[in-house]
Amino acid sequence: MALFGKKADKQKPGSVNFDSSDEAALTDQIDAWVSTNRPRLGEVLMELGIIEPGDVEEALRLQAEETEEARKALVAAAEAEGQDPLDPSMSQALVPVKPRVGEVLMRDGVLDEVSLAAALSRQFGVPLADLRVESPDPEAVQLVPEELAREHVILPLKFENDRLQVVTADPFDVEAIRAITYHVGKVALRIGARSEIERHLDRAYNVLSAADDHIRAFELSYDEPNQENRADNALQFDENAPVVQVVNRVITQAVRQRASDVHVEPTEDDVTVRYRIDGAMTDAIHLPQRMGPAVTSRIKVMSELNIVERRRPQDGQFGVSVDGRPIDFRVSIVPTVHGEKTVLRLLDKTKSLISLPDLGMNEEVVDKFTKIVSSPLGMLLCTGPTGSGKTTTLYATLNELRDPTKNIVTIEDPVEYQFAGITQMPVTGSGITFADGLRGILRQDPDTILVGEIRDEETARIAMQAALTGHFVLSSLHAVDAVAAVHRFTDMGIEPFLVASALSGVVGQRLLRRNCTGCAESYTPSASESRMLERYSNLTPVWTKGAGCELCSGTGYRGRVGVYELLVFTDTIRDLVVAKATHHEIKAVAIEEGMRTMQQEAFDLVAKGLTTVDDVLRSVYAAGMDSDAAPVGELEQGKSELPVGKRAISGLQEDSEMDDDSLRDSRGELVVDRGGAIPTGPSTVGASASGEGES
């Protein structure tokens, strides 16, 4: 323990109070608080069994390196300004801020916020606030201005013994302690995790709660039914207008609540604003029905759309800054029975990219996936419905492929994340289509091409030709699963042999809601849940679900986890595609060759306690379509389908070896049924030619 210096007395959590009745007394309290002899954080963390001695030594080494780098940067800045770093008057200005050991350990992935808060509670002798269970009292929140709370990241929790209990993540932030004590008077300190404090601040200071005043102001100024038409132009200039303030608050709260989409839906009685959070819709606020056109017009102004046009769909985009974070919005407006409905898709540019190993794929899928993307040519597709994480998977793959020796070009609608060293072309606002952009890209000598989405035959055909001529192509497609992508292409009019030759692999994916870690608890499953899990998973189940807490807003879920299936195009699969095999036949062979379906992966996540059967049924499992004869989520095999599995290939080969004469009638013409299909066996031809079997 010599590493930590002098050993101090252990601090037992107790009441830590500050009082501003006397400024001199408060200063003495803070000075005494700072100068108290305490054990080092590393010692406490090791005592709690959170880290090892080697972790502390590595953190101290990194701390020293970062401090020296910061000092050199200060010296270089001083020299650039013509100042002498050796001047004694400059000595204080050249002392860098030393990073704390806890911050270094968290950055290194050794420590998490909750463990750090527990260690600080032990180190400083301050009670720990479990914000997964406790929530701030509204009366306590009203005493502290939002600006003060957010500036110092302090959460007013509740009153107890005539003192306001406040939660901080940094018990050494004396400026925060001084400011909150001056404002309130008597304060009792508690410690919590920073992310949980920020989350509670977003909920406690809900900007929509203050929207009522602006709604009333709008109603008072609304005199005539046609007023919204005359107010359209004013919305472009008056940032203090009630409707502008309401729209700003709706957007701000959506960002703070981690919403992926905002829906503004006019109904017969009002305008309902809903957020999609972790894949599920939740009500945010209800506005007066006559406020709907003004809200839509405001969003049109922000998106530079035609505010007069109310009978046709319009698409646009705009960007704003919320809490210092740049946020892009994709806008879709469509006319409905009760007015125009608006949907905003949020794109947070500050979010870091998810790496390929962190997507949630199992190791076997990651290995196969990596082999496909390592190929110099071919085509990889990501399939799934809207909001299933296709773009995230493509970006993670693109990040993996980044190589200064390669020319990587993308065409996207819109560009959601900008990569260094990659050429990115936006479709939105450029007046070009994916097909036009793809033709231009092919003249740019690319090695790897990312096409944001394949929507039509022209784009699909150009992308496949690019894959066949020495380029590696990444793209996304709307399809129910990996195998369905094959038939989506043939439905577009792409020849099966071209699909089989171009595709290297197809990823089908969904996002499931993750059980909240703050309130997850064991439970006894129903008989139907047990039967489902036994049927689709071989793992020993850990039956867990969220009970609902402050952390997850009572839903039992927080965050999402991906489920994936990877269809690798082997020679057998390519033969089936060329032979126009059915969805069921291709999937059966893929499973024989080792593909795990999304259903199997999803129920494995249930067995691991990461999600619930209810959410699998909501997002992945196709209820009512499974049978003993067909895999989950597939229609039963039709009467005219080929044998399932590898027998299908041999059957197809036998058919291809048939004598051509056996398919012709007595006049030597090919026999074709009413559906345009050539019969597959001589018995059918014979019956047809002789007239037998006709009614």
Whether residue 414 is preceded by a cis peptide bond, meaning omega within 30 degrees of 0, is yes
- Helix (H, G, I), strand (E, B), or coil: what is residue 48? coil
Q: What confidence tier does 695 reach under pLDDT thresholds 50, 70, 90? A: very low
For the chain, what are the domain ranges?
2-203, 206-348, 356-513+561-596, 658-690
Q: What confidence tier does 91 reach under pLDDT thresholds 50, 70, 90? A: low
When pLDDT is averaged across residues 554-568 and rounded to a whole number, the result is: 91
Is pLDDT of 350 > 90? no
Lowest-pLDDT range of 18-32, 181-195, 281-295, 462-476:
18-32
| pLDDT score of 650 | 52
Lowest-pLDDT range of 338-347, 462-471, 630-639, 641-650:
630-639
CA–CA dist 212, 287 (Å, integer): 9
| pLDDT score of 515 | 93
pLDDT digits (tens, 9 = 90+) for 301-328: 999 999 999 989 999 889 899 888 889 8
The encoded tokens of residue 1 equal: 């323990």
The encoded tokens of residue 386 equal: 């809207």
CA–CA dist 163, 166 (Å, integer): 9
Q: What is the DSSP string of 384-395?
A: -STTSSHHHHHH
pLDDT digits (tens, 9 = 90+) for 456-501: 999 999 999 999 998 999 999 999 999 999 999 999 999 999 999 9
Return all residues near 81 (Cβ < 8 A) that are at least 6 apart: none
Is pLDDT of 5 > 50? no
pLDDT digits (tens, 9 = 90+) for 594-622: 999 999 999 999 999 999 999 999 888 65
| pLDDT score of 447 | 92
Rg, C-alpha atoms of the chain: 32
Q: Are 414 and 427 contacting, i.e. CB atoms less than 8 angstroms apart?
A: yes
Cα 595 to Cα 337, 507, 592: the distances in Å are 46, 11, 7
Is pLDDT of 341 > 70? yes
CA–CA dist 393, 484 (Å, integer): 19
Is pLDDT of 627 > 50? no
pLDDT digits (tens, 9 = 90+) for 673-682: 433 444 444 4
Highest mean pLDDT, choosing among 17-26, 168-177, 410-419, 621-630: 168-177
| pLDDT score of 668 | 47
Cα 249 to Cα 22, 214, 565, 616: the distances in Å are 40, 10, 40, 34
List the one residue out of 691, 640, 634, 636 whose CA is nearest residue 666.
691
| pLDDT score of 644 | 47
Number of Cβ within a 10 Å radius of residue 231: 19
Lowest-pLDDT range of 8-22, 388-402, 551-565:
8-22
Is pLDDT of 574 > 80? yes
CA–CA dist 38, 1 (Å, integer): 14
| pLDDT score of 172 | 85
Is pLDDT of 97 > 80? no
Q: Are 134 and 157 contacting, i.e. CB atoms less than 8 angstroms apart?
A: yes
Is pLDDT of 279 > 80? yes
| pLDDT score of 334 | 96
The encoded tokens of residue 315 equal: 């698409």
| pLDDT score of 623 | 47
CA–CA dist 177, 171 (Å, integer): 8
CA–CA dist 547, 126 (Å, integer): 29
CA–CA dist 641, 9 (Å, integer): 79
When pLDDT is averaged across residues 612-638 and rounded to a whole number, the result is: 59
| pLDDT score of 624 | 42
Look-up: residue for tokens 């959601």?
Answer: 416
> Pick the residue with more confidence: 537 or 15?
537
Q: Are 619 and 599 contacting, i.e. CB atoms less than 8 angstroms apart?
A: no
The values of phi and psi at residue 242, to 5°, are -55, -45
User: Does the predicted model carry a pTM greater than 0.85?
Assistant: no
Q: What confidence tier does 629 reach under pLDDT thresholds 50, 70, 90? A: very low
List the one residue out of 371, 370, 324 whose CA is nearest residue 349.
324
The encoded tokens of residue 361 equal: 């794929």
Cα 170 to Cα 103, 151, 189, 190, 336: the distances in Å are 11, 13, 10, 10, 51
The domain made up of 2-203 has a fold known as: GMP Synthetase; Chain A, domain 3 (3.30.300)
pLDDT digits (tens, 9 = 90+) for 224-256: 555 545 444 444 446 778 899 999 999 999 998
Lowest-pLDDT range of 126-140, 320-334, 598-612, 619-633:
619-633
CA–CA dist 6, 443 (Å, integer): 69
When pLDDT is averaged across residues 411-427 and rounded to a whole number, the result is: 84
CATH superfamily of 356-513+561-596: P-loop containing nucleotide triphosphate hydrolases (3.40.50.300)
Which residues are 325's β-sheet partners?
A: 322
Number of Cβ within a 10 Å radius of residue 626: 18
Q: Are 388 and 510 contacting, i.e. CB atoms less than 8 angstroms apart?
A: yes
Q: What confidence tier does 630 reach under pLDDT thresholds 50, 70, 90? A: very low
CA–CA dist 275, 255 (Å, integer): 10
When pLDDT is averaged across residues 333-352 and rounded to a whole number, the result is: 89
Q: What confidence tier does 212 reach under pLDDT thresholds 50, 70, 90? A: confident
Lowest-pLDDT range of 210-214, 233-237, 322-326, 416-420:
233-237
Q: What confidence tier does 359 reach under pLDDT thresholds 50, 70, 90? A: confident
Number of Cβ within a 10 Å radius of residue 571: 9
Alpha helices for 443-581 (secondary structure H) = 457-468, 484-492, 496-502, 527-536, 571-578
List the one residue out of 151, 57, 71, 46 whose CA is nearest residue 104.
57
Q: By percentage, how much of the chain surpasses pLDDT 90?
A: 35
Q: What confidence tier does 296 reach under pLDDT thresholds 50, 70, 90? A: very high
| pLDDT score of 111 | 85
Tell me how far the alpha carbon of residue 524 is from its chain's centroid: 31
pLDDT digits (tens, 9 = 90+) for 651-690: 544 444 444 444 444 444 444 443 344 444 443 333 333 3
| pLDDT score of 72 | 79
CA–CA dist 292, 341 (Å, integer): 9
Q: What confidence tier does 383 reach under pLDDT thresholds 50, 70, 90? A: very high
CA–CA dist 131, 146 (Å, integer): 19
Cα 134 to Cα 129, 509, 515, 644: the distances in Å are 7, 36, 19, 57
Mean pLDDT of the chain: 81
CA–CA dist 232, 221 (Å, integer): 14
Q: Are 178 and 28 contacting, i.e. CB atoms less than 8 angstroms apart?
A: no
Calculate the CA dihedral of residues 573, 574, 580, 585 and round it to 10 degrees: 0
CATH class of 206-348: alpha beta
CA–CA dist 121, 79 (Å, integer): 43
* Distance spanning both ends of the chain, measured CA to CA: 96
Is pLDDT of 166 > 70? yes
CA–CA dist 13, 193 (Å, integer): 16
Q: Going edge to edge, which strands form the sheet with 408-412?
A: 423-426, 408-412, 448-451, 472-477, 378-383, 503-515, 557-568
Is pLDDT of 30 > 80? yes
